[in-house]
Structure 1
Amino acid sequence: MQSFYPSQIIEYLYCPRYTYFEYVLRIPQYEEKFYKVNRGREVHNEKLERNKEYLRKKIGVTEKWTDQYLGIEGLRGKVDEVLQLNDGTYAPLDYKFAQWKDKIYDTYRQQLYCYAILIEAVFGGKVEKGFLVYTRSKNKLVEVEIKENAKAEIKKSMDEMLEVIQENKFPKATKVKKRCLNCTYRNICIK
């Protein structure tokens, strides 16, 4: 059974052809050359040393698990923190090497939705919200609502990705053409 990381699902939601090029044709993206990707990885490692307990108290955390690698059939990923809240629900917390600009990007939401699915399956509790910490804005904490339909969209995308891979299916490109401008596959993609 194919198992996806949240980043792969996010790419699929951005443009379904990412899945085709990377996992059917096996053409890598070479994302390592991008500064923010590398810096983000460093921040995830640094945050372990500068853990902000006051953030946890502010949102009613009763227990936390750090750097949790979780996996279920079809989905796997490493959650920065899994939080159990005082109402008995769980929540993912993810650190972002970014500044808060009064907007939560879809990719950040989608990553939390993936984590919600993993947490519910592995920890056996309900996930109704997640949290983002913007490290370049003095560790600003932002709450994100996680609805059932958002988790359902992720699960549907996982099924569609499997179909692309297993059936060697060339999917339609994104309808948002400006996404093609910075795509690593723009030179080989048939528009």
Structure 2
Amino acid sequence: MEVIKSQKISMFEVLDYIYCPRIIYYEEVLKIFEKKMNDFKKAEEERLEEKGRINRKWIWERLKLRKQDIKNLSQWENKEFNKELDSEKYHFYGKIDEILYLQDGTIVPLYYHNSKYTAREENQYKYLMAMFSMLVEENYNINSQKGYILFLNGHSLKKFEYTEKDFKKIKQQISEILELIETERYPLEVEGGTKCRDCYYKKICGR
């Protein structure tokens, strides 16, 4: 079905859709999200506060950030902060904490995650960074096949790599989200189990 071409969604909505399509229905069709947005804003403020305490030089040295010589002084170069980017091709947007140019000639996104790494969230982390890389590729016209997350709880830095299969899945999910919003179709078939137990909308959902 043809979707509204001007519609753009947040990359975090894509993660929500992968978690459960009904989240998008509640938030984008029924507009039930005010309390959740307040909680999100509070969590984001806490994340930014913790992020400000991080020694970025330690990260850049580990990732081998490109350097240049200026008056015989070694200077860090080619790093961009808090870049708001959107994709005209795939109709989503996001804000990248840092875009880094590495010594090997690659460009990678870096995200500060306000949590501790957990293996069960591996796919969520991968898709998050893959979307950041899609934004980098489209806006900077360069391939970006990997990204990094610094988990603020525990200060662990992890690399995430992805394939064309991962990019294809994301594009398909975005297409489905835009169609859901356009048709206002209630998703009938959804996965249950532990996801429902932890869901923000469990009290109003029909499961």
Q: TM-score, normalised by structure 2?
A: 0.81
Contact 2:64–2:102 (CA<8 Å) still a contact in 1?
A: yes
Contact 1:70–1:76 (CA<8 Å) still a contact in 2?
A: yes
Residues 173-182 or 148-157, more deviating: 173-182
CA offset at residue 135 of structure 1? 1.5
Separation in 2, partners of 1:150, 1:29: 31
Separation in 1, partners of 2:23, 2:43: 23
CA offset at residue 116 of structure 1? 1.0
Residue of 11, 22, 27 corresponding to 1:22:
27
Would you say how many aligned residue pairs link Structure 1 and Structure 2? Answer: 189
Kindly report the root-mean-square deviation, in angstroms, between the aligned alpha carbons of the 2 structures: 2.2
Give deviations 1:161-190, integer Å, cap 9, x for gaps. 011011122223432422112323223322
**Structure 2 residue 164 is matched with structure 1 residue 148:** yes
Larger radius of gyration: 2
Partner of 2:98: 81
Contact 1:44–1:80 (CA<8 Å) still a contact in 2?
A: no
What code does the residue aligned with 2:27 have? E
Separation in 2, partners of 1:136, 1:185: 26
Q: TM-score, normalised by structure 1?
A: 0.87
Partner of 2:110: 93
Contact 1:116–1:151 (CA<8 Å) still a contact in 2?
A: no
State the identity as a percent.
26
Separation in 1, partners of 2:83, 2:54: 18
1:130-169 matches, within 5 Å, as 130-137=147-154, 139-169=155-185
Alpha-carbon distance change, 41 to 153 in structure 1, aligned in 2, over 3 angstroms: farther
Contact 2:100–2:109 (CA<8 Å) still a contact in 1?
A: yes
Contact 1:16–1:172 (CA<8 Å) still a contact in 2?
A: no
Separation in 2, partners of 1:93, 1:155: 21
Separation in 2, partners of 1:65, 1:176: 41
Residue of 7, 11, 31 corresponding to 2:12:
7
Give deviations 1:52-101, integer Å, cap 9, x for gaps. 21211222222211111111221111111111222222211111122245
Partner of 1:54: 58
Separation in 1, partners of 2:55, 2:13: 28
CA offset at residue 20 of structure 1? 1.0
**Structure 2 residue 77 is matched with structure 1 residue 72:** no
Residue of 175, 181, 189 corresponding to 2:197:
181
Contact 1:22–1:29 (CA<8 Å) still a contact in 2?
A: no
Alpha-carbon distance change, 52 to 158 in structure 1, aligned in 2, over 3 angstroms: same
**Structure 2 residue 106 is matched with structure 1 residue 109:** no
Contact 2:130–2:145 (CA<8 Å) still a contact in 1?
A: no
CA offset at residue 123 of structure 1? 1.1
Alpha-carbon distance change, 188 to 102 in structure 1, aligned in 2, over 3 angstroms: closer
Gaps (5+ residues) in structure 1?
Answer: none
Alpha-carbon distance change, 128 to 164 in structure 1, aligned in 2, over 3 angstroms: same
Separation in 2, partners of 1:27, 1:43: 24
What code does the residue aligned with 1:181 have? R
